[in-house]
Structures are given as C-alpha cells and as structure tokens.
Amino acid sequence: MTTDIAIPQSGADLVAFGAPSDALARLGEWVEAAGHAHRLVAPLVGTAFIPDAYKPKVDPRATPEEKAEARATAIANATAAVLQGITLGLDPMTALQQIYVVHGRPGMYAKIKVALLQSKGHEVWTEDLTDTRAVVAGRRRGSQQIERITVTMDQARKAGWTRNDNYAKTPQDMLWARAAGRVCDRVAPDALMGIASVEEIQDTIAAPESGARTVKPPRRAAAAIPAAPEEPPLDDEPVAAEPQPQAPEPAEPITTAQQRKLHALLRERDLTDREAGLAQISLILGRDVESTKDLSKADAMSVIDTLMAAPETAEPELDGEQ
C-alpha cells in the first residue's frame, strides 16, 4: 500500500470551491488526502521525529482504552497538521515540525513564514534589530511596493506581550518575530492562507484583555427584607423538613506522577525559577496559584496538556538573514 499523499489544488484556488459539482469533487480529493495522511503519520507519532505536540498525551495511570483513545487523538491532530501543510505547500514532515496548535489556533513560527515566502520569490529582510526595536521590510514578487514594520519594546509593554518571559530572555528574537510575521501577512497573505504566527498567538494569550489585571470588587450583601410571619401549622398537618445543602465533594489532588511531569516540563521550558513557573501556571489556569501542591488532578492535566502543546519559541537565525 502506498503512502503517497494525493495533494488537492493548493493556493488561492482553495478559497472558493465554485460550482456545487466542483465542490464535491474537491471534497473527495481532500477525503482521499486525509486517508493517505492518516496512514502516513500513524506509525510516526511515537517516534523521536515527531514533536511532543503530536504525541499521545497519556496519564501514567491511564487504562488501555484511554491510551488507545489518546493515540487516536494524536494521530488525528498530526493528520490535520499534514493537511494544513498541503494548503501551504509544505511536505508532511516539515508541516509536523512547523505547524502547532496553541490554545485552539493553528500557527507557524515567524521564521518558517519568512522561509515560505522567500521560497515563492517574495522578499523579506531585516533593516534594524536591537533589544528595544526591530524593523523588518518585505516586497511581493514583481512589485516595487515595500511593506515595512517596526515593533518596539515599548509597544510590547503597552500591549501586555512582555508577560511572555521570552521578551526578557531573548528580546531581539521576539521583536523580530512579531515584525517579520506582520510583514509576511501583508506581503503575501495568499501564500499563508491566513495562518497566524505562533508568537502572535502566545502574545495574545499572555496579554490581559484590558492591558491590566482585573480584580472584581467584593459583592455587597443584599439588603435584608423582613419575612412575612409564618402561620403556625395545623395540628394534623405534617411539617416538611427543609432540605439541607450538601457540601461539594473535594477535588482530587494532583498526583505524584503529575508533579514530576509538570516540573519536568517547566524545566524543559527554562522556567526553573519558582515564581516564573507559578506565573506561567497561573496564566494557563486564569487564577493565582501559590504552589503546585494546591492544584487538583484536573488542573494538573490542563497545565501539562497546555505546556506540551505549546513548545518553546524557536530562535530565528537573524544574522545576515534577508
């Protein structure tokens, strides 16, 4: 059985199907391509060549059925990444290495977006790059119009992006990535099919909606309203007992295996500082977390899944890049 992928038409033609008969034919091509992609990635999801984002996420105490379900989900995600890559003109392995889903949105790192545009004859180059400013420009193939984007650290602070630790660790890389990603989106949006930059998605998650953390004021107690006097029950009328509210069952605490996995993921992402690690966990859960011991089992699973699905920002090779 062949593992060649039948590739439907890619590029701007994918925006609209046209006539219904044409649409059905195109959908048939995609179904066939999905089948080929599924067979291609199934034996690969457990190998070292596949990023953690596309490997099965299994709790150490999972049952065989849960493990099988996790593997099926991983294969489906990898299949979708390969199909997304087809629309962008990427081969399957490159798509699996470069396309990630961050909080429900597929994205590519700015560096691969630049490479993709340059492979199609468009131009993208860096004009200025410091720890406080990045200026990136680009030009569409055959056009004389230059698109130029400047991103400064002041802009990043105002937008709330600097909650992302990478702006402190590698400021040039992050500023360049935001500027380069925007240039690519303007120069050749048809080549990128609207896919976002991973750095843009991560910054959107890091930035609070209003630019500052919102603290809800305490609720005021409702004004007491005197109740009407109750009539005494008749001698032969039974008095119904009022139902007593049941206390909610306590959440199952984080397991020892989850503690080890969580701390290992934080170390892999260079979040060894306790405050930095807790800040990242608090950001994922949307509430303050003072210790990983306070997490429930469900909290831990959510944080672990998010950290595994959002890999570290790749370092773009900037020197001499045009």
Does residue 112 share a domain with residue 98?
no
Whether 156 and 167 have beta carbons less than 8 Å apart is answered as: yes
Does residue 97 share a domain with residue 51?
yes
Does residue 176 share a domain with residue 154?
yes
Pick 319 or 123 by higher pLDDT: 123
Q: How many domains does the chain have?
A: 3
Picking from 183, 206, 229, the residue at the C-terminal end of a domain is 206
Picking from 102, 128, 161, the residue at the C-terminal end of a domain is 102
Residue 128 has pLDDT above 50, yes or no: yes
Whether 306 and 107 have beta carbons less than 8 Å apart is answered as: no
Does residue 174 share a domain with residue 131?
yes
Q: Which domain holds residue 50?
A: 12-102
In the sheet where 99-102 sits, what is the strand order? 99-102, 105-108, 196-197
Residue 70 has pLDDT above 80, yes or no: yes
Spatial distance between the Cα atoms of 136 and 134, rounded to a whole number of angstroms: 6
Average pLDDT over residues 275-297: 82
User: What does the DSSP assignment read for 140-180?
Assistant: -TT---EEEEEEEHHHHHHHTGGGSTHHHH-HHHHHHHHHH
Whether 151 and 167 have beta carbons less than 8 Å apart is answered as: no
Helix %, strand %, coil % of the chain (to 5): 50, 10, 40
What band does 207 get if pLDDT is binned at 50, 70 and 90?
Answer: low
Spatial distance between the Cα atoms of 249 and 172, rounded to a whole number of angstroms: 49
Please return the burial class of 82, using the count of CB atoms within 10 Å of its CB with bins 0-12, 13-18 and 19+.
buried
Spatial distance between the Cα atoms of 94 and 38, rounded to a whole number of angstroms: 16
Does residue 113 share a domain with residue 201?
yes
- Mean pLDDT across the chain: 78
Picking from 49, 72, 102, the residue at the C-terminal end of a domain is 102
Whether 264 and 258 have beta carbons less than 8 Å apart is answered as: no
Query: Which residue is associated with the tokens 């990136």?
Result: 136
Q: pLDDT tens digits, residue range 2-57?
A: 444 444 444 444 445 556 667 777 788 888 888 999 999 899 888 888 888 888 88
Whether 181 and 199 have beta carbons less than 8 Å apart is answered as: yes
Does residue 114 share a domain with residue 201?
yes
Instruction: Please tell me the predicted confidence (pLDDT) of residue 179.
Output: 96
What band does 206 get if pLDDT is binned at 50, 70 and 90?
Answer: low
Q: pLDDT tens digits, residue range 92-124?
A: 998 898 888 877 788 889 999 999 999 999 999
Residue 5 lies in a domain: no
CA angle 90, 26, 109 (to 5 degrees): 25
- Partners of 133 in the beta sheet? 152
Does residue 144 share a domain with residue 166?
yes
Instruction: Please tell me the predicted confidence (pLDDT) of residue 284.
Output: 80
CA dihedral in degrees (276, 277, 278, 280; nearest 10)?
Answer: 90
Average pLDDT over residues 292-317: 72
Instruction: Please tell me the predicted confidence (pLDDT) of residue 102.
Output: 79
Residue 216 lies in a domain: no
Does residue 130 share a domain with residue 98?
no
Q: How far is CA 159 from CA 72, 107, 186, 211, 290, in A?
A: 39, 20, 21, 6, 26
Does residue 192 share a domain with residue 160?
yes
In the sheet where 146-152 sits, what is the strand order? 123-129, 133-139, 146-152
Instruction: Please tell me the predicted confidence (pLDDT) of residue 126.
Output: 97
Does residue 82 share a domain with residue 20?
yes
pTM for the model stands at 0.56
Residue 232 lies in a domain: no
Residue 319 lies in a domain: no
Spatial distance between the Cα atoms of 1 and 92, rounded to a whole number of angstroms: 18
Q: pLDDT tens digits, residue range 130-159?
A: 999 999 999 999 999 999 999 999 999 999
Residue 201 lies in a domain: yes
Residue 320 lies in a domain: no
Does residue 61 share a domain with residue 113?
no
Residue 62 lies in a domain: yes
Residue 282 has pLDDT above 70, yes or no: yes
Whether 116 and 190 have beta carbons less than 8 Å apart is answered as: no
Residue 265 lies in a domain: yes
Structure tokens at 202: 């991560």
Spatial distance between the Cα atoms of 163 and 235, rounded to a whole number of angstroms: 68
Spatial distance between the Cα atoms of 39 and 5, rounded to a whole number of angstroms: 9
Instruction: Please tell me the predicted confidence (pLDDT) of residue 208.
Output: 56
Does residue 157 share a domain with residue 185?
yes
What band does 245 get if pLDDT is binned at 50, 70 and 90?
Answer: low
Instruction: Please tell me the predicted confidence (pLDDT) of residue 127.
Output: 97
Cα–chain-centroid distance for residue 85? 17
Instruction: Please tell me the predicted confidence (pLDDT) of residue 302.
Output: 80
Whether 211 and 156 have beta carbons less than 8 Å apart is answered as: no
Max avg pLDDT among 171-185, 206-220, 257-271: 171-185
